[in-house]
Amino acid sequence: MRRSIFISGAAQGIGAAIARTFYQQGYKVGIYDINEASAQHLAAQLGNHAKAGKLDVSDYAQWQNALEEFSAWAGQLNVLVNNAGILYSGAFEKTDIQAHQRTINVNVNGVLNGCHAALPFLKQASFARVINVSSASAIYGQPDLISYSASKFAVRGITEGLDVEWQKYGIRVLDVMPLFVQTAMVTNMDAASIQNIGVDLKPQDIAEQVLKLVQSKGTLFTQTHHPIGLKTKIMYQLSSISPQIINRLGNIFLSRK
């Protein structure tokens, strides 16, 4: 039986790159997105082993329906990728509170909903893994990206906790932590850090890392967090060995306009 992967926010950007990569590896691919038309278009491009559907990740009932539909079609659910996310940038006080709240609802509740709704299906599979798309913004709180950064800290915490808790089911829960990626999300982003750091990563870079994590054996020594790109790896390592004041000063420097 072909293994299967269910990807939220899969109609474009990182999610679409993951879908294409796993389809080429022989997986049955679930392309689910709030933009159903784009999801259906991508599934038609890929072929018969791709299935698309609508999914608002902030709606738990939609998660339940989508996962039940996909699992019945695929035969089993092996890999869940929580990729869907949104980003609002700019000064905290100049961003509408509704935008901050929506970021948390999609980026945090979307992951909670996905993991919770998927567990019954993952437990039934012969092999199961969860990959959450986090961010380098979860290394240290980012100015001009307050709610986005906070949401990715939450994803980091969810990943760490479930990676331990779900050992009893034989399910590893891992995340990828890219810096800025060349997608529509960062177009016209109002944050000095993007100008100072640059956008070096492509969606395919993240897709390839997700594939490596799924293909790995997932031993006790497999890391939970996986920074992507040299700059992110340096930031991640420095954050673990340098005093908090150094981390803060570094982020002040990077956010200078």
Distance CA 257, CA 254 (A): 9
Contact 211, 152 (CB under 8 A): no
Query: Residue 228 pairs with which residues in a beta bridge?
Result: 178
Contact 132, 157 (CB under 8 A): no
Sorted by sequence, the CB contacts under 8 Å of residue 2 that are 6+ apart come out as: 26, 27, 28, 49, 74, 75
Q: CB neighbours (10 Å) of residue 18?
A: 31
Contact 173, 162 (CB under 8 A): yes
**Which two structure tokens, joined as six digits, stand for 28?**
């049955």
Contact 191, 144 (CB under 8 A): yes
Distance CA 198, CA 181 (A): 9
Contact 149, 204 (CB under 8 A): no
Distance CA 96, CA 76 (A): 41
Tell me whether residue 236 is one of the annotated catalytic residues: no
> Quick check: helix, strand or coil at residue 48?
coil
Cross-sheet strand order for the sheet of 79-82:
50-54, 28-33, 4-8, 79-82, 129-133, 172-178, 225-228
Q: Which residue is catalytic, options 88, 148, 169, 236?
A: 148
What residues are annotated to the active site? 148
